Structure 1
C-alpha cells in the first residue's frame, strides 16, 4: 500500500474509531430504556433513572455525530470512496430454487392474512394472547421490518395482497404521473395515525376490520391501475418495505444474491427521484419520533396541558402529528437550500433534496431497531408458539425477560444509524459535486439536521415511558 493509501486508511479508521468510541460511551451510561412505539402490545417499558445529567447524555450523542462528520470529511479520494461502495459479493443461486421459494412465500402470506383476519374475529379478545395481534405487531411491524433492512426485503414475495391482485382482472388505467408516490405518503401517515390513536393493537376484532378495509382499498387500486403500478406508487406498506429494503446488505440480482455493506447501494440508487419520495423518507423518520414522544412522560405532560386548555384530545394529537411532520420536512428542505448556498452550486434545490434523502433511510432503520428490537425479543416465545400451534396457542404465553444491558441497545442502534447516514451523505456529496471543497461544504447543513434528529431521538430514549393520555385509557 502506498503512502496515500495508508493515509486514507488511517483517516477512515479514525472515523470508525471515533464513531465507535462515542457509541460505546453512551452505551455504558445507564439510562432509561427506550420506549416501544405507541402501538405495541405493551403500553410502557420499564427503565432506570439516569446516572448522569440528561443534557450531557444527549449532547454527547450530538457531538459524536458532529465529530464523525468532521473526520469523514477528511476522506477526499473519490476513487477510494467509489471502490468502497462498488465492492460486492455475488452468491450464485439456482433459478428453480428461487421460483419455489417465492411460491412458498406467496402461499404463506396468503394463508397468514386469512388466519389473522379469522383470529381477530374468532380468537380471544385479549391482545396479549390473540394470535392476530401477535403476528401483526410482533411478526410484521417489528420482526419482518427488521429483517427487511438487516438482511433483505421479503415483502414482494410475502405480500398477500399482491398474490390476490395477480388473480384479479385489471382495467390498466394510466396512472397519473403527477401523483407519484403521494398516495403512498398519505396512506402511510394515515396508517400511523390509525395505529396510534385507535385500539387496533388492543381490540383484535378492530384489527381484523382494519385489515378488511385495507384489503378492499388495495385491491381496488390494483384493479383500477395494475398490481405492478399500485404496489410501486400507491400502496404504503409495499413502499415502506421497498425503502427499508434498500438499506439491506442482500439483494436478488440476475446473477444471484448480491452482498454489499448495509446502505452502500443508496448513494447510487434511483430509489428517490422526486419530492414525493423525499416526503416518504422523512415520514419514516418522523413516525417513530412521534410514537416515541407520545409514550413518554414529557409527551403526556404536553398533551394534558393542551387538553386542559379546552382543546379536544384528538385535535391535540393531530396537531402534534401533522405539525411535527411538517417541521421535520421543513428542516430537511431548509438544509437543502442552505447546502445549495454554501456549496455555491448551480444545481437546483430539488436535486439536492433528492440526492441527500436516501442516507436518511439509515436513520429510519436505526430508529426502528431502537424502538422494536427489545419488544420483538421479549415476544419471540409468543410468536414462535403461534407459528408452531396456530389453532391452539398457549393460554399463558411465555415472555422473555431481557438482561440489563439491553437498556443500552436502543441508543446504540440510533447512533449507528446516524453514523452510517453521515458516511452515506459524504459519499453522496462526492458523487454530486466536482470540487472537493464543494462536496465538503455541501454536507454541513445536512449534518446539522442529522445532529438535531440525534438529539431529539436520544432525549426521547432518556425519558421514562407511559401510556399515551386520553387514548385507550391512558
Structure 2
C-alpha cells in the first residue's frame, strides 16, 4: 500500500507521525544495503501493531505490577568465586587482553600515519570507527563495563609517573560537561570531518594528548570518570547489560570474582544522574543518532535547499539550491548547530511530557527532580536506535577486520592468510534487517516503559498516581514508536 493510500485512510495519524519524524533516526536509509524489498504487509500495520503492543504492555504493568515487585534484587542473582579469579591470574588473561587492546590501538595509529590512504584497505578506520566505537557500545550492553578494565588511555596514563595524582581538585560544576563536549566533537568529526586514515591517526594523537592532560591536571581516577566520553558512554550502556563481572576482595588474602546475572535493562533501576550534565549526555546519545539518520533524508535536505518556508529565497534572489557552492559552508554550520542543540530539543520534549504527568498527579516536585527520577528510562531507546541505525555496518564492514589484520597497512600483505577471505561481508537480506529493526525498536520502548513504571511505583505514594504519571510518557513512547517505524519503512516503500 502506498503512503498516499495510508494518508487517505489515516490522515491525522500520518500527519502526526510525519511531524515526529523530525526527531527520530532514519535507520532504514542510513547505513543499509539499499536493495529493494517489498514488505509482506502494509507498513501501517506494523506501526499500529507496535503501538498496540506498547499500550498493552503499559496496561499489563498498570494492572498487575505493584510496588512489591519493584526491588532490583528480585531481578538478579550473584555468584562469587575465588577459583575463577585464580584461574584468570594463573593464565594472565587480564594482562593479555590489555596487551591486545593497547597493541591494536598502536597498530591503528601507525597504520594511519604510514599506511594506505584508502579507508577500506587501512586497518585503523575499520578498527576505530566500527570495531571499537560501535562494537564497544554493544559489547558493554552485553557483558558490562569492559572498558573500565581495558581502557587503553587509562592503561597508558597509569603506566606513566605522575598522571594518577591530581594537581587540581576536579571542579564540581564541571561534572560531565567535558565528556559531553568531547562527545559532540567526536560525532561532529564523524559526520562532517571527511576523515581518512591519516587524519584519523592525527585525531587520535590529539585525543590522547587531551586524555593525558586531563589526567595530569585532575588525576586519572576523576578524569576517566567525568572527562573521557568513551568511559561515560560505555558505562551507561553497561547498566543495560544482563550481567556484570568484577573483582571483590573477600579479605586481604582472598580476592574473588563476582558474577551477577540480571534481567536486561534492570541495572537501570534506582539509577540517577549525578549531575544535570549527565542527563544531557544521555540525551545526546539519543539525539546524535537521530540527527545522523535525519540528515540523510530528503526531508532534511529539502528543509534547507528547497527553502519551503521562503526564508532564504528572498535574500538570494533565487532558490538556495542554485547557490550550492556558496552556501555549502553555511549548510555545514547549520547542521553543526543543530547537532549541538539536539540534546536540548529532546530535553525540552522530555520536560513537557513530565510536566503533563506533574499536572495529572498534582505533584509539587520540580521538573528537574522528576527528570532525574526518570532520566535513565530513556537509555533503552537510545541503545536500540543506535543498534538499528548502525548494526549493519558491523556486518558489512566490521567483519572485514579479519582480513585487515593480515594486511593492516594496505600494502598487499597476507600475514595470516585471511587478507582475501577475511574481507567477505555478512549480508543479511532486507527482510531480516526490517524485522530485526521492528523488534528492536519495540523492545527498547517496552523496556523504557517498564523501567519508568517501576521508578514511578517507588516515587509516588500510591499505585494510582504512579500509573497516572506515566500516561503522558506512554503517549510520547507511542508516538516515538510509530514515527520510528514509519521512517524505517520509507526507503522500502519508495
The bucket for the TM-score relative to the shorter chain is 0.7 to 0.9
> Is 1:222 equivalent to 2:215 in the alignment?
yes
Contact 1:66 1:451 in 2 (8 A): yes
Shift of the 335–79 alpha-carbon distance from structure 1 to 2, 3 Å rule, reads same
By how many angstroms is 1:352 displaced? Answer: 1.3
Contact 1:281 1:361 in 2 (8 A): yes
The separation in 1 between residues aligned to 2:468 and 2:73, in whole angstroms, is: 22
Contact 2:449 2:474 in 1 (8 A): yes
Q: CA RMSD in A?
A: 2.6
Per-residue CA deviation, residues 399-426 of structure 1 (Å, 9 max, x unaligned), is: 2222343222122211111111111111
Contact 1:275 1:353 in 2 (8 A): no
> Is 1:405 equivalent to 2:431 in the alignment?
yes
* TM-score between the two structures when normalised by the length of structure 1: 0.82
Among residues 243, 247, 250, which one is paired with 1:250 in the alignment? 243
The separation in 2 between residues aligned to 1:263 and 1:250, in whole angstroms, is: 10
Contact 2:184 2:340 in 1 (8 A): no
Among residues 180, 186, 193, which one is paired with 2:175 in the alignment? 180
Contact 2:112 2:201 in 1 (8 A): yes
> Is 1:77 equivalent to 2:66 in the alignment?
yes
Unaligned runs of 5+ in 1: 1-31, 466-474
Q: Which moved more, 1:327-336 or 1:230-239?
A: 327-336
1:262 aligns with 264
> Is 1:373 equivalent to 2:388 in the alignment?
no
Shift of the 103–381 alpha-carbon distance from structure 1 to 2, 3 Å rule, reads same
Residues 112-191 of structure 1 aligned to structure 2 (within 5 Å)? 112-168=104-160, 169-170=162-163, 171-191=166-186
Among residues 30, 34, 47, which one is paired with 2:28 in the alignment? 34
Contact 2:67 2:463 in 1 (8 A): no
The separation in 2 between residues aligned to 1:45 and 1:122, in whole angstroms, is: 34
> Is 1:66 equivalent to 2:55 in the alignment?
yes
Per-residue CA deviation, residues 210-258 of structure 1 (Å, 9 max, x unaligned), is: 1111111111111110111011111111100011111111112435111
> Is 1:95 equivalent to 2:96 in the alignment?
no
Shift of the 321–365 alpha-carbon distance from structure 1 to 2, 3 Å rule, reads same
Q: Which moved more, 1:162-171 or 1:95-104?
A: 95-104
Q: Which moved more, 1:217-226 or 1:364-373?
A: 364-373
2:284 aligns with 283
> Is 1:328 equivalent to 2:346 in the alignment?
yes
By how many angstroms is 1:375 displaced? Answer: 2.1
* TM-score between the two structures when normalised by the length of structure 2: 0.79
Contact 2:137 2:233 in 1 (8 A): no
Contact 1:381 1:399 in 2 (8 A): yes
Among residues 210, 233, 245, which one is paired with 2:203 in the alignment? 210
Among residues 99, 109, 121, which one is paired with 1:107 in the alignment? 99
Q: Which moved more, 1:330-339 or 1:221-230?
A: 330-339
The separation in 2 between residues aligned to 1:83 and 1:292, in whole angstroms, is: 35
Shift of the 173–388 alpha-carbon distance from structure 1 to 2, 3 Å rule, reads same
The separation in 2 between residues aligned to 1:121 and 1:51, in whole angstroms, is: 49
User: Helix, strand or coil: the match of 2:71?
Assistant: helix
Per-residue CA deviation, residues 133-192 of structure 1 (Å, 9 max, x unaligned), is: 111122112222211112222111221111111123134310110111121122212211
Shift of the 434–440 alpha-carbon distance from structure 1 to 2, 3 Å rule, reads same
Among residues 364, 376, 394, which one is paired with 1:358 in the alignment? 376
Q: Which moved more, 1:168-177 or 1:454-463?
A: 454-463
Count of residue correspondences: 426
2:461 aligns with 434
Contact 2:357 2:468 in 1 (8 A): yes
Among residues 357, 376, 381, which one is paired with 1:339 in the alignment? 357
The separation in 2 between residues aligned to 1:96 and 1:390, in whole angstroms, is: 35
Unaligned runs of 5+ in 2: 1-25, 249-256, 313-318
